[in-house]
Every structure is written in C-alpha cells, then in structure tokens.
Amino acid sequence: MKRACSLQTKSMRRITCEFHVANEKQKHNHMKAIVISIMALFATISLNAQNGIETALKAIEENNQTLKALRETAESQKLENKTGIYLTNPEVGFNYLWGNPVDIGNRTDFSIVQTFDIPTITGKKSKIANERNGLVEWQYKAERMHLLLEAKQYCIELIYFNALKKELQIRLQHAETIATGYQNRLNSGDANILEYNKAQLSLSAIKGELSGIEVERNALLSQLKRLNGGMDLSMDEANFNQNQPLLNFDEWYVQAEQKNPILAYIKQEVVVSQKQVSLNKAMSLPTFSAGYMSEKVVGQNFQGLTVGVSVPLWENKNRVKQANAAVIAAQSRETDSKQQFYNQLQIQYNRAVGLKNIAEAYRQSLTTANSTVLLKKALDSGEISLLDYMVELGLYYNMVNRTLEAERDYQKALAELSAVEL
C-alpha cells in the first residue's frame, strides 16, 4: 500500500493530504461537541427525574392490584373489628303446656329478655375496636410504603440506565467516527490493519454495551408494568435531581420517626393493649338481664318484669393478668423497635452522606480533569498511538461510569431514607 501510495502524482498526494486534514478537523470538532455534551449531562440540574418518578408512583398507586387487595382486606378487617361489640340479641320465649288431668286446663307462657354487660354500655368495646382499626390502617400504610419504595428503586435504576444509554450513544458516535477515519486511512495506505482492527473492536464493544443496557431497561420497564397493574409505564428521564438538600441526622430522624408507619403501628399496639386491660377489668363485672314475662292458666293471668344477674366467677379468670402482660410486651417491642429504627436510620443516613460526597467528587473530577480534547489532538498529530489513545480515553469513560453509579447509589440510599414520605 505504501509503495502504491508513493507512485501517486503530486496532485493526488495534495488531494489526499487535504482530505486527511479536513477529515481530522471534522473529527476534532465532533470530539469537542461530544465533550460538551458529556459535561452537560452532569452540569444540568433538572427536576424532570423527580417529576417523572412522582408521576410513575402516582400511577402505580392507582393501578397496583396488590394495593387494591390490601385496601379491601383492610376494610374487611375493620368491619370484623366492629363485629360483636354491640348488645346481644334479645331472647323471646313462648311456652304452651297441656294440663293433665284435662280439667285443669292449659298454660301459656311468654317472655322477652335483653342481656347487657358493663363494657357494652360504657362503650369500651367500641373504643377498642376503633383502636384496632387504627392498627389495620397503619399496617396498610406500611405495606404501601414498601411497595412504593420498590417501585421508586426501579425508577432510579431506569434513570441510571437511561443516562448510561445516552452516554454510550455519544461514545458510539465517536467510535464510529474513529472507525470510519481508520477505514479511510487503511484504504489510502496511511494506517495498518492492526490499528483498523482496534478501532473496529472498540466500536463493537460499545455496541455490545448498548445492547446489554437495552436488556436491563426492558427488564426494569417490565417490573414497573407489573407494579402498574399490567399497564405500560415509560420513563425517559436521564438526569437525577441534584437539588435535594440532606438535613442533619437529628432533624431527619425526628421527621422520620413521626411519619414511619411501622413505628406508629407498634405505638398503637401499646394503646390497644392498655385499653384491653380496661376492657378485661370491666368484663369481670356481672352481666345483667331484664325483660318482660307473662303466664296464663285457666282463670288466672300473671305478668310482670324479670331481672337476672350473671356473676363471672370462673369464665374471665386470668384475663386481666394476661392483658397486663400484653401491655408490658407491647411496651418492650416499642422500645426495641425505636432503638433498632434509630440505629438503622443512622446507618442509612451515613451511607447516603458518603455516597453523596463520592458522587460530587466524581462529578468535580469530570469537570477539572478532563483531557479528552488533548488526547484527540495528540492522536491526530501522531504523538500517541491509537492503543494509547483508547487506554487513556477508557480511563475517562470509566470515571463517567463511576459517577453515574455513585449518583444512582446515592439516590437509592436517599429513597430508603425518605420512604416514609411516599
């Protein structure tokens, strides 16, 4: 090829040289555009991602079949808690007795009796039913929080892969430009087959990465579709919301403790247990009954009021002791849960702060230590080989990938911290 090139006329060599200069200038300008686009990817502070996530979560909450089933189950449980808290059914009795001998006549009895107890009259059963309904509601909110957190994590992963896809598409354009340039240089005898193969391998690697990313994106979209009741849910955002201030831990914990449905459930358990003690004490009081009764025989008629008392001597034995023990157990669970929640939240908070610092440091490095333009100039001038250029450029690409990963991990950690706000 070199020998053939040397046989060209001066005019042909001049045309070829001008072609290479124009081609290299075009690649240089294209490389500058790529660098500007890459930096804009991290410099942009946008709320589109946050709005996209909120829209997705709202749709999932409306369409998710699991949440609908949980809501219906909760309503059913509330009705069950309200069952059996009212007065017992009145009892109506009628007796018709034949006399023997016949001349004494027949006897007819009629009675209606209502039984009632102290807890029903004072409303203790109704009050504890309302408190138990509070437990049901907090349990539903906890299940809802876990499901929406799962959905939010999928959204964050999807935004990460969207950003990575956008970045790789820029790299693909660059790799195609390099591959085309070396194809032309190979045809003109200005490059060898080894350099051409390196450019083609780099292009193939990026295409493979893009295909892998598309597989991951489709899997995440399928997960969101599953959570959205089988309906497609799209999200094209490729930038995370960077304008999210991280409060100090004490302020964060106060807010999280007040809103966390799991802690609220455990706290409600203590209230229910305490009211159960009061109810069981009232259940140890006598049960009363009152009603009307009449008796008719030949030539005689008796009617009047009937009153009864049932003393619970054995039926409610140990109920108060059991209720007091349940209160102690619920209080112990509350203390333990608060301590566990505090420690777990502190771990998550410290991790989020660390990931936030890492992401910011990576992003700053991309701004201050970017030498891609200089590398392209060195390659064009022949100061470095294509292999050296690809190795050095690979370091920059690796930093971009690490920045995206750190940003994703920070957003996922932040999502766990703010799950109570879902």
238 CB-contact burial (10 Å; exposed 0-12 / middle 13-18 / buried 19+): buried
What local confidence, expressed as pLDDT, does residue 322 receive?
A: 87
The C-alpha R_g of the chain, in whole angstroms, comes to: 39
Cα separation, 322 vs 319, whole angstroms? 5
Residues 308, 289: contact at Cβ < 8 Å?
A: yes
Residues belonging to the chain: 422
Model confidence pLDDT, tens digit, residues 209-233: 999 999 999 999 999 999 999 999 9
Low-confidence ranges of the chain (pLDDT < 50): 1-47
Quick one: what percent of the chain has pLDDT higher than 70? 86
Cα separation, 166 vs 217, whole angstroms? 12
What local confidence, expressed as pLDDT, does residue 158 receive?
A: 96
Residue appearing with tokens 């053939």: 4
What local confidence, expressed as pLDDT, does residue 182 receive?
A: 80
Residues 199, 178: contact at Cβ < 8 Å?
A: yes
Cα separation, 141 vs 116, whole angstroms? 37
Q: What order of strands is seen across the sheet that includes strand 91-97?
A: 91-97, 107-116, 287-297, 300-310
What local confidence, expressed as pLDDT, does residue 101 receive?
A: 82
| DSSP code per residue over 87-98 | PPPPEEEEEEE-
The number of beta carbons lying within 10 Å of the beta carbon of residue 380 is: 19
The number of beta carbons lying within 10 Å of the beta carbon of residue 164 is: 22
What local confidence, expressed as pLDDT, does residue 50 receive?
A: 65
Alpha-helical (H) ranges within 88-192 are: 118-122, 124-188
What local confidence, expressed as pLDDT, does residue 15 receive?
A: 34
Residues 145, 422: contact at Cβ < 8 Å?
A: yes
Cα separation, 112 vs 88, whole angstroms? 13
Per the confidence metrics, is the pTM higher than 0.75? yes
Query: By C-alpha distance, which of 146, 140, 203 is closest to 171?
Result: 203
